[in-house]
Structure 1
Amino acid sequence: MVDNTIRRSGRGGRERVLAAARKLFANQGINATTMEEVAAAAPVSKRTLYAHFPAKDDLVLAQLEDLVGAGATMHAVLTEEDIPPRQRLLAMFDVPAPAGGPVRGCPFVDAAAEFPSPDSAVHSFARAQKLLMLSLVTDLTSQLGVAEPELLAEQLVTLADGAASRAMVLNDAGYGRHARAAAEVLIAAAPRRPGGRC
């Protein structure tokens, strides 16, 4: 079925394909979505689809890059300088409620699970985003004056990924509240450098 919001947008074929792929991948998973379904939802001809994305892997990778470029990932809140570091860290546990579809959790974890070979371009991109997330969180824990910012960062990203995965499995966007409570304890209990903030 064609998504009329995509048709009415008047965007170019590539952008319509990426918007359709984002919605379909989130609602039914990457491997369960065919290129034909993406073309129909965009709507574009298969020729146009394959002109932009010769293989499904190309489409998946471009869709993930588009999510990052659009600020539709956790990285956006982690780099929001108008929000204090502690609040940015805790925002990792706010799983977005889906708009009419299932809770999908983290798109990078989803993509890595569906492209399990560590050498695949999709898996490599997902890994790079997870390492970037760790770097951003380490910077924030360091700003809090934590004595071992890398250790706390690892604990927090592990909690965040676990919360996102459980939210997806249980289809419960509010599940992150449990990990958030644990994160608050970890942040409060982390030893500080002399003069470090709480």
Structure 2
Amino acid sequence: MSSAVTASQRRGRGGRERILAAAAQLFTAQGINATGMEQVAEAAPVSKRTLYAHFRTKNDLVMAHLQGLASSDATLESVLTRDDIPPRERVLKLFDQPVPDAAPVRGCPFIDAAAEFPDPASAAHAYAREQKLRMAELITASLKELGCPEPTALAEQLATLADGAASRAMVLDEADYGRHARAAAEVLLDHALRNVD
């Protein structure tokens, strides 16, 4: 009996992972609002009963998807938490496409989610806002490591550049579009740090 429970638990975890993977693929390809729960169940593949056992509502699935993105290495923000990269390079890596071989190019998934859920009070929009605020905080921390005299203002400028570059890269379907914003970021950093030893 206990081995059957263990096998059942394994199937359950596998089902949840398959659901999240299918949702991520569909949300990226066609958008969150354009993706139905039946499509997710079919792509997973799991029964609708299994899908709803893991995610009672589509909003629950969307939030799990966004939380999974936040803890992955597939977002702009992920590079800012790496200790193996010097702080200046961490900031400049914001302008590299997280998945350079992705086709078509996708922008920031949190900006995409906020656009699909325009009500600032919605859970998805609020979570996207938290991630964008966290991004600015992480940039600020890197700038403090560099000795920047006004890290908060510069962090907002760099975050704006990074988000803008990601959005333009998606619209133009140009994976290396961030090179333009990176050049501007280097000028901003050089100017801000010119008197720092």
Q: Structure 2-normalised TM-score?
A: 0.88
Structure with the bigger percentage of helix: 2
Whole-Å Cα distance in 2 between the matches of residues 119 and 186 of structure 1? 34
Among 130, 137, 140, the residue aligned to 1:138:
140
Deviation at 1:74, TM superposition (A): 2.6
Tell me which moved more, 142-151 or 83-92.
142-151
Which has more radius of gyration?
2
Cα distance, 1:172–1:83 mapped onto 2, change above 3 Å: same
Offset from partner CA, 1:129-180 (integer Å, 9 cap, x none): 1111110000111111111111110100000000011111111111111101
Among 156, 161, 169, the residue aligned to 1:167:
169
Residue 108 (structure 1) aligned with residue 110 (structure 2):
yes
Q: Which residue of 2 aligns with 1:52?
A: 54
Whole-Å Cα distance in 1 between the matches of residues 165 and 157 of structure 2? 12
Among 178, 182, 190, the residue aligned to 1:188:
190
Amino acid aligned to 1:167: A
**Residue segments in structure 2 that go unaligned for 5+ positions in a row:** 1-10
Whole-Å Cα distance in 1 between the matches of residues 32 and 51 of structure 2? 16
Alignment of 1:60-99 (within 5 A): 60-97=62-99
Residue 38 (structure 1) aligned with residue 40 (structure 2):
yes
Deviation at 1:62, TM superposition (A): 0.3
Amino acid aligned to 1:120: S
Deviation at 1:192, TM superposition (A): 5.6
Deviation at 1:75, TM superposition (A): 2.8
Q: Which residue of 2 aligns with 1:3?
A: none
Tell me which moved more, 89-98 or 17-26.
89-98
Q: Which residue of 2 aligns with 1:12?
A: 14
Q: Structure 1-normalised TM-score?
A: 0.88
Whole-Å Cα distance in 1 between the matches of residues 140 and 45 of structure 2? 42
Whole-Å Cα distance in 2 between the matches of residues 83 and 190 of structure 1? 20
Amino acid aligned to 2:183: A
Answer whether contact 1:27 1:101 (CA < 8 A) is retained: no
Deviation at 1:191, TM superposition (A): 4.9
Whole-Å Cα distance in 2 between the matches of residues 130 and 179 of structure 1? 18
**Residue segments in structure 1 that go unaligned for 5+ positions in a row:** 1-9
Identity, % of aligned pairs? 65
Residues paired across the two proteins, number: 186
Amino acid aligned to 1:59: L
Task: Tell me how large the CA RMSD over aligned residues is.
Answer: 1.7
